[in-house]
Structure 1
Amino acid sequence: MSATQNHIGPSQSPCLPHPSPRQRLILASASPRRRELLAQLISGFDIVAAEVTEHEDPATDPRVMVAHNAALKADWVAERHPEAVVLGADTTVFIGERVLNKPAGAAEARAMLRELSGRTHTVFTGLALRCGQSGLRLEARVSSEVTFKPLEEALIEAYLAKVHTLDKAGGYSIQEHGEMIVASRRGSLSNIIGLPLEETKELLVRARVL
């Protein structure tokens, strides 16, 4: 799969013709990383964590997985807050025809870092923007590439001692001591962190939130 190929889909229903400039925006995620990134684009948004069961089958096409999960989150929140514009997002790591989601424990985090060691993987993010009141439906998919340094066991242990990775796809965080493990990257850094800012901004502009 080619990385850094971004896709933004058409709206299936038009936005309100003249939405209020103070139209409420909700981020359908409790992720502190997504909250911090979205705050670079807009202030005053709300956060409502979607209470959904995400699809995480490691054999699933990662593009399908992130698109499905982002829509699942956005739809769940939009159904309960129909007056608001809702942003859902989902990110995963893909290597060797296999998806690496969030590790279940320290042992799995170590195993993921060993698998990523010295190799290039792809980070996929799906975005979904919804508004129940207007029928707004916008979606986008973004990918970036990350190449890891060869990681010795001592380095893996040192990294895990510094970074909490159990809530991060692939068992790592590029913005936290990434210099220890990452050799290079190609594409959007914010996508690798969890919310591609360029594509998110484009969706919010098309929805007339920005």
Structure 2
Amino acid sequence: MNPAPSPSPSSSPASRRLILGSSSPYRRELLQRLQIPFEVAAPDVDETPLPGESPHRLAERLALAKARAVASAHPEAVVIGSDQVAELNGQPLGKPGSHERAVAQLRQMRGQIVVFQTAVAVVCAASGFEESSLAAVKVRFRALTDDEIEAYLRAEQPYDCAGSAKSEGLGIALLESIDSDDPTALVGLPLIRTCNMLRAAGVKLLAASGGKP
């Protein structure tokens, strides 16, 4: 019996393309911190919550659905999918989309603890690899005045952010405390969990660069 052929270099995990299945500029900027080449592909996924679905289940389901959607079109690639749902008293808070809705959200959240449920999934259809993880970030908002809310929103206009605030920018001034074991999860992509799953999928991180920066 002839031995099975060795896999070609193009099919080895370390040589697979890496694709971020997201249209979010925030996730793209975060993934760039790992200094590995990747492409971006926007997933076509219906983000409507299922009846009775909890915020953390919604985030997990959508992260996996996004990764699977892109992986189906690029089966040889390793695909990252992510989703974030802000939760206040067990109820989801979506992206405000407008100044008026952002004002209403921040008024609702002032003095409260908001949990940002951030899920990440890594999928490679060719190898059958599929893994997901959830990072919950507890954020306590200060007892904001209406004037502070207006000043913040006019300055940063975070209308595309769940919870109406950018913690990586001026939005940090709205907060009293942050509790997380994966700090970048609050921005939209938990990099510690992402690195762990990429390694498990066979992607080499911190590879020797031959002395090049």
TM-score, scaled relative to structure 2:
0.86
State the alpha-carbon separation in 2 of the partners of residues 115 and 24 from structure 1.
43
Alignment partner, residue 181 of structure 1: 174
Alignment partner, residue 202 of structure 2: 208
1:197 positional shift: 1.0
Alignment partner, residue 172 of structure 1: 165
Aligned counterpart for 2:186 among listed residues 189, 192, 209: 192
Residues 146 and 182 in structure 1, CA contact (< 8 A), matched pair in contact too = yes
- Cα RMSD after superposing both structures: 1.6
Which amino acid in structure 2 is aligned with residue 113 of structure 1? Answer: L
Aligned residue pairs, count: 193
SS in 1 for 2:63: helix
Which amino acid in structure 1 is aligned with residue 110 of structure 2? Answer: S
Aligned counterpart for 1:65 among listed residues 58, 68, 91: 58
Which structure's relative contact order is higher, taking Cα pairs within 8 Å and 6+ residues apart? 1
State the alpha-carbon separation in 1 of the partners of residues 53 and 156 from structure 2.
28
1:22 positional shift: 2.4
Which amino acid in structure 2 is aligned with residue 194 of structure 1? Answer: G
State the alpha-carbon separation in 2 of the partners of residues 91 and 45 from structure 1.
21
Alignment partner, residue 83 of structure 1: 76
1:19 positional shift: 2.3
Query: What is the CA deviation profile of residues 143-198 of structure 1, one whole-angstrom value per residue up to 9, with x for unaligned ones?
Result: 11111111111100000011122211111111110232111111133011100111
Query: What is the CA deviation profile of residues 50-105 of structure 1, one whole-angstrom value per residue up to 9, with x for unaligned ones?
Result: 02221346963111100111111111110101110100000111111211011132
Alignment partner, residue 146 of structure 2: 153
1:208 positional shift: 1.0
Say if 1:198 and 1:58 are closer, same or farther in 2 by CA, change over 3 A.
farther
SS in 2 for 1:109: helix
TM-score, scaled relative to structure 1:
0.87
State the alpha-carbon separation in 2 of the partners of residues 162 and 77 from structure 1.
35
SS in 2 for 1:88: strand
Residues 99 and 157 in structure 2, CA contact (< 8 A), matched pair in contact too = no
Residues 59 and 97 in structure 1, CA contact (< 8 A), matched pair in contact too = no
State the alpha-carbon separation in 2 of the partners of residues 45 and 165 from structure 1.
26
Alignment partner, residue 51 of structure 1: 44
5+ residue gaps, structure 2, are 1-10, 205-213
Which amino acid in structure 2 is aligned with residue 64 of structure 1? Answer: R
State the alpha-carbon separation in 2 of the partners of residues 170 and 67 from structure 1.
18
Alignment partner, residue 110 of structure 2: 117
State the alpha-carbon separation in 2 of the partners of residues 158 and 178 from structure 1.
11
